Chains A and B, each alone.
Chain A
């Protein structure tokens, strides 16, 4: 019989008629697009710039290799000044901030010595004098959960050697009662001070003293084959990072004058925090996605980020504009006695991992944590497959063994989200809704659906003619 396969989309009777001729048929399970998007979808589909623009955006993104080139305080590498605070997600004012972001800002103010007691920071932020809030994303940075960055915090510095472009992220504090989940108690501040006084300088010495800069993109390639999806599981990645840096950390006793107990503390801290590598995975993803920004006509999402109140996306073809809607509460498992009522809506820049095709998008490769986020192994396989329905490409470097080494779904397409109604799947931690509580659980969440038609309309309005 004929070699031709017929793809049918629409009435089943035509597919049946083709099948009746002993010809192979692939049926599309078509459903109407998100309400009211038909005209914008057609305008964007027929935008002559789009196919090439998306190809270019994907290529640029896949072309980036992130190397770890330095560790340094935010005041130095981001030019952050006293009273300037970075935070996760799209822009927000103090009066609209949620509990965890408030708590983290209050703790950050105390860390910087703007107030003695974190509780006093409320009045400071309410007055708005000498303090300012700005998204991490606006400074080439990303921050997990609350994502609060203050001038004294030490930052990972990642660089794409081909272009010299850099991205930044703070050092990970561990789980539980930590600043990024909105906790600001004395132990939280003590840990942060140690990170600033000991861990940061020690890692700086180690990174500067490591001959071959660590290839973060390469570690991501390997960890995806070792059961990490690089959002909620970073165990293999953390250990590989430690493998790369520990010789130079040990040597820093000679080169930087660190005591052996400092080195031991640092090794123990990093090795004991399975999420330590997340803060390298995130800026590596941002570095790749930033390369795909500002391609006129491209429908690719280049950032998904939440500030605990709003969920925002940025799209390649629409510049720096944020499309926002209310952040949702994740579904999943809760720590201890906590329950859904204790959880804050979705927060953090860590959805940059999903934007780059890992995290929830690579769930199939991390069966070990499907229960943590309340799922099953078949769910995990189905999730990764489903994300291919809304993405532009597969990442040849980041592959999933159990799916026959298929590359992870890469480059979320605003059009395809609107066409299928399939929303990006995000793995996330859950912060307590009340400032100071910290982590209450982990689970799965999606963006609010309405931000995709918003972005689509903006893309359609930019189509000439």
Chain B
């Protein structure tokens, strides 16, 4: 039985807020009294589809309009609901200084105000990211481009120009960087040591940060001083490692860096060769951790780094192993927010289980279509460009992945579920609060083994142990090493196949 409702839809021309803020606004408004459903979003094609799907009737609009769509109890007061929208939209920005002076509207304008020693972090929609990044480079500043969906030709243009300015372009699609101890984007808090990371992969970088931090407790030199992201395409043949070269040059010149580690998703072979040659020529030793068939996984790379510094690798932590029983079916389901973690798991699992279907497949014939669950082993990267267009990254908005967890659990062929959860700056304040209920629900009918790679450090803002405990309490087995987590589920699936 449904109670009667009424819809209120209005367009606000000239109003703008980023998608993450609007997601938070929508959530806040949904919690207001009398509100049945609320969607506050920019009128992009994708958002209009969502609104239509929710049954809202949206008038003609342009993508620069903000849509406020409310579904209220028939007796509820629209004015009160709109007041809740307005209150949620008011930005809470402490320390904005002189109220008389309007904030800068472009990166160039901001840099005129801050001057030297600034780093720029760009996370606007991909179509506008290059323009902001160019402002930074023109003024001689390094820039991290978190934005994805940036055309590769623009990436090459940015990096080519940066080379003439001695500036570094981290990205596009760069999730993580640590510069002078400052975490940018999704970054873990680590003790600084004498290791410099160059990462063509955000979550790969975060995995190494977390492993080395864990292993480095009490060891002064085992810690990451800088982690320079370069973007997932930097080692492709089109981009040719332009940013990696600049990052290596910097770390080589830094007297506080004793060892350089390069981590990347599978690179183009000829770029990898050139990179290996160039790394040889540097005065600082370089450990190359380039993922690929027959190459080392990230945990093995971390162990090699420890060995170079004269230390033995610890036993990587595992919690909640008692939760895990035998596999409940023949197929493995890996659902990731981290692209490199997904890559690494596919490489490890494919060696034992054979072909793995994915939206970021190891080879083209393994590609998934729109359908993310098929009658094969499947691993999905929810952070991939195609799945983030017009919506927030899964580290911020877990809705899509949680839906897939439920679908995987409902599939009788599912034998085990492999997940990742990434902590650090930029991630949700309490991500386990969203994932743990999804895990518990997945295990409510059958005891499907759920193994989670929990990537984080004890200095991260989320409280690593509380996050871990929540996942274990929900029935998961939790690893720090994604490679170890993957091997664990592979073993379970193999057990079911025998």
Chain A positions within 8 Å of B, measured between CB atoms, are 2-15, 17-21, 23-24, 26-33, 35, 38-39, 41-42, 45-46, 48, 51, 378, 381-382, 385-386, 388-389, 415-416, 419-420, 422
Contacts and interface: CB of A to CB of B under 8 A. Distances in A.
B422 to A, nearest CB: 13
Nearest to B428: A13
A5 B63 contact: no
Contact of A13 (B104, B114, B182, B426): B426
A27 to B, nearest CB: 6
Interface string B404-427: 000000000000000000000110
B100 A378 contact: yes
Given A26-B110, A30-B132, A389 B104 contact: yes
Contacts of B151: 42
15 contacts: A5-B117, A6-B184, A10-B132, A12-B18, A14-B123, A14-B426, A21-B425, A27-B103, A27-B110, A28-B104, A32-B42, A35-B64, A39-B127, A378-B100, A416-B106
Nearest to B165: A51
Given A7-B119, A13-B426, A386-B102, A32 B128 contact: yes
A189 to B, nearest CB: 48
Given A12-B91, A39-B127, A422 B105 contact: yes
A46 B135 CA distance: 10
Contacts of B123: 8-11, 14
Interface string B165-204: 0000000000000011111110000000000000000000
B183 to A, nearest CB: 6
Contact of A45 (B114, B117, B134): B134
B56 interface: no
B107 A7 contact: yes
Contact of B105 (A11, A42, A389): A389
A8 B182 CA distance: 13
Contacts of A386: 102
B329 interface: no
A389 B93 contact: no
A7, A23, A24, A415 pick with most chain B CB within 10 angstroms: A7
Contacts of A11: 18-21, 123, 146
A28 B110 contact: yes
Contacts of A7: 107, 110-111, 114, 118-121, 136, 141
A5 B425 contact: no
A35 B63 contact: yes
A45 B426 contact: no
Interface residues of B, number: 65
Interface string B146-157: 110001001001
B146 A10 contact: yes
Nearest to A30: B124
B304 to A, nearest CB: 30
A416 B138 CA distance: 14
A326 B261 CA distance: 59
Given A5-B118, A21-B425, 7 more contacts: A12-B91, A13-B20, A19-B94, A28-B109, A30-B106, A42-B131, A48-B160
A353 B147 CA distance: 39
Contacts of B125: 32
B127 A29 contact: no
B431 to A, nearest CB: 13
A32 B138 contact: no
Contacts of A6: 118-121, 182, 184
A92 to B, nearest CB: 32
Contacts of A12: 18, 20-21, 91, 93
B130 A8 contact: no
A50 to B, nearest CB: 9
Given A6-B119, A10-B146, A422-B105, A38 B128 contact: yes
B300 interface: no
A7 B110 CA distance: 7
A419 to B, nearest CB: 6
B182 A389 contact: no
A9 B16 contact: no
A21 B182 contact: yes
Contact of B161 (A28, A48, A378, A388): A48
Interface in B68-126: 91, 93-95, 100-114, 117-125
B388 interface: no
A382 B101 CA distance: 7
B158 interface: yes
Nearest to B113: A26
A381 B99 CA distance: 13
Nearest to A54: B138
B185 A14 contact: yes
B425 A20 contact: yes
Contact of B396 (A5, A13, A24): A13
B285 interface: no
B101 to A, nearest CB: 6
B461 A20 contact: yes
A5 B104 CA distance: 15
Contacts of B104: 26, 28-29, 389
Nearest to B94: A19
Contact of B128 (A8, A14, A26, A41): A41
**Top 10 nearest A-B pairs by Cβ distance?**
A10-B123, A46-B157, A17-B425, A38-B127, A29-B103, A10-B124, A45-B134, A31-B16, A420-B105, A45-B131
Given A28-B105, A42-B154, A5 B121 contact: no
A10 B179 contact: no
Interface string B451-463: 0000000000100
Contacts of B91: 12
Contacts of B112: 388
Nearest to A17: B425
A33 B158 contact: no
Contact of B106 (A27, A42, A389): A389
A7 B108 CA distance: 10
B105 A5 contact: no
A60 to B, nearest CB: 19
A243 to B, nearest CB: 36
